[in-house]
Structure 1
Amino acid sequence: MELRKILLPALISVTLLSGCSWFSGEEDVVKMSPLPKVENQFTPEEVWSTSVGDGVGDYYSNLHPAWSENTVYAADRFGVVKALNAGDGKEQWKVDLSTKTGFFSKNLPALLSGGLSYDGGHVYVGSERGQVYALNSSDGSIAWQTKAAGEVLSRPVASDGLVLVHTSNGMLQGLDQSSGVVKWTVNLDVPALSLRGESAPATAFGAAIVGGDNGRVSAVMMNQGQIIWQQRISQPGGATEIDRLADVDTTPVVVDGVVYALAYNGSLAALDLRSGQVMWKREIGSVNDMIVDAGRIYLVDQDDRVVALSTDGGVTLWRQSDLLHRNLTAPVLYNGYLVVGDSEGYLHWVNTTDGRFVAQQKVDGSGFQTSPVVASDKLLIQAKGGEVYAFTR
């Protein structure tokens, strides 16, 4: 198949309209669950909101704000990056990373896509054009800019003097944090067809732990760029191309020497950090990052169920199924509750004890695609239209 990277919701929509043989008939039409009725136990307060460019529109993007030292950093797909005061949302600086093509021509958009991250006085962001930018957090000026091996669809991760980027063609690269020079490149291999998205690496004890489109989790020694171990947690199988997708696009989570990793059509697995050996495995899949906290795993599965499991064997503790196919964001833990956004622009607040809804609010008509971000006492979320919101409870 010529198209190597796909975004699943978009693929499903196109396929249903075209009558592609991947689906068998009307019974395969996916219907969004109606909005559940929730009696709010509290009303989260919107502290401020501000626009950051034109957002991402209908394009797939993992752009989401980053936060540090009372400053929020946010961007749009076309190249606008802003620093905002976390207290009131007022702009501190703004830069435009789009390229000027001529006096009378429109700027060439930067196509920022890889999410924002902050470390050591720099803000890092990647793009669909394969560019990685390090911006000075004081004024937004470019500290360095590097051409990566491919599209940077996940957020860059700074650790151990390196900036790690995972590209759409399966390359994990380590860039020098001070200069952007490529120190090493590891080929993680890619199948003929995969979801449009990549796992951002987790780091622990000098190793980068990252998921791949081939269903494997890899541990890479960061000082040398060498693979320590690889473990397959998802095996392609099934009757259709969709069934055979095995991507590990979620960021692994490392807690107490255990790596928790999650594949789309495969498994949730607990791996030994030193050896990569499987400690236990559960049949559940997702493309959304998960949370591991206080002996529990919280995740949104591929059908948009919100699920809590035990870290001891992956036993299901509760399952919230009233948001099926509402295209939920990854969850975040805020003020003792799980919070997820959906494609219609609602925020849903869930009790971590039993999975019951405790609050619900309509926020933005363009909808949400990326997860909320906790910034001290505030909850941040960026809508597809570009508006950034800050809430408190």
Structure 2
Amino acid sequence: MVKALNADDGKEIWSVNLGEKDGWFSRSSALLSGGVTVAGGHVYIGSEKAEVYALNTSDGTTAWQTKVAGEALSRPVVSDGIVLIHTSNGQLQALNQADGAIKWTVNLDMPSLSLRGESAPATAFGAAIVGGDNGRVSAVLMQQGQMIWQQRISQATGPTEIDRLSDVDTTPVVVNGVVYALAYNGNLTALDLRSGQIMWKRELGSVNDFIVDGDRIYLVDQNDRVLALTTDGGVTLWTQSDLLHRLLTSPVLYNGDLVVGDSEGYLHWIDVDDGRFVAQQKVDSSGFLTEPTVADGKLLIQAKDGTVYAITR
């Protein structure tokens, strides 16, 4: 089910069930996944059934629907008339934004075992930059589907299969010609956008998306530590370790503070200068899995049970 809500009061504007009919009065689940993207009058969303939908923002009707190469577990990314989809079987596909027709497919390779989830691409200067389950970051020309470079930032090492997981499931961030990328069991790495050469790296890992703001990087690592680092060399400025193993969401900046949610339903406001807590609020008993988003001066977040909250502070 996809719903559009009024950001001012939360009232439903429209809703649409994308599940297929499996009887006279019932529908099977569409298994929507990866989050939604809104661009150009459409809502784009993928599914575990390898379907990508473009819905009209005005009423939720389907503008087009396309079958892709595999499960679409990350959010679609829209840029320069193209909808980019990273599928669970290691394919990066470009769909025409107007009608959903597949323009090209690039194979990013897959290891025998990987985490469930995929990196959403970043876009910059006509290129799509995406992390892969093979521990590499790839840059692809968006119009042609031509590989520009690949760079390994995580090496599969260790005695167990879990230790050898090297997925780059976070979305790369591109700022001032530098690509910042973060792997699960690997490194936080800065790469040159043009060549893919490594500029510096730090031994940190995560599956949560991170923030680059000015000369700082804010991230949540795989142990649920919240860190601030410099963009020049990845030097640690502060570490907040009081939320270990709370299954934190990715962070977001809101009114000058860093905000994360957790699996117990709390939101935590953290001072960006020193990492101390500014505020903590119990919001929902079911907990949070996805990061908050900021719109119209409000902090918006969806709980595990589907409840959407709008918070101002």
CA offsets per residue over residues 124-147 of structure 1, 9 Å max, x none?
Answer: 000000000000001000000000
Which among 205, 214, 217 is matched to residue 294 of structure 1? 214
Q: CA deviation at 1:285?
A: 0.3
The amino acid across from 1:124 in the alignment is Y
SS in 2 for 1:359: strand
Question: Hey, which bits of structure 1, 4+ residues long, moved more than 6 A?
Answer: none
Partners of 2:292 and 2:192 lie apart in 1 by 29
The amino acid across from 1:86 in the alignment is A
Which among 241, 250, 256 is matched to residue 330 of structure 1? 250
Matches within 5 A, 1:228-377: 228-377=148-297
Structure 2 unaligned blocks of 5 or more:
none
Question: What's the C-alpha RMSD, in Å, of the aligned pairs?
Answer: 0.6
Partners of 1:339 and 1:378 lie apart in 2 by 12
Q: CA deviation at 1:242?
A: 1.2
Residue 103 of structure 1 corresponds to which residue in structure 2?
A: 24
Partners of 1:245 and 1:255 lie apart in 2 by 27
Q: CA deviation at 1:359?
A: 0.5
CA offsets per residue over residues 346-374 of structure 1, 9 Å max, x none?
Answer: 10110000000010111111110010001
CA offsets per residue over residues 82-114 of structure 1, 9 Å max, x none?
Answer: 11111111111111111111115x311000002
Q: How many residues align?
A: 313
Q: CA deviation at 1:223?
A: 0.6
The amino acid across from 2:293 in the alignment is V
Residue 8 of structure 2 corresponds to which residue in structure 1?
A: 87
Percent identity between the two aligned chains: 77
Q: CA deviation at 1:376?
A: 2.6
SS in 2 for 1:314: coil
Matched, 1:142 2:65: no
CA offsets per residue over residues 9-39 of structure 1, 9 Å max, x none?
Answer: xxxxxxxxxxxxxxxxxxxxxxxxxxxxxxx
Matched, 1:121 2:41: yes
SS in 2 for 1:319: strand
Q: TM-score, normalised by structure 2?
A: 0.99
Partners of 2:284 and 2:63 lie apart in 1 by 34
State the structure with bigger RCO (CA 8 A, min sep 6), 1 or 2. 1
Matches within 5 A, 1:216-235: 216-235=136-155
Partners of 2:113 and 2:283 lie apart in 1 by 35
Q: TM-score, normalised by structure 1?
A: 0.79
Partners of 1:366 and 1:171 lie apart in 2 by 34
Partners of 1:111 and 1:335 lie apart in 2 by 34
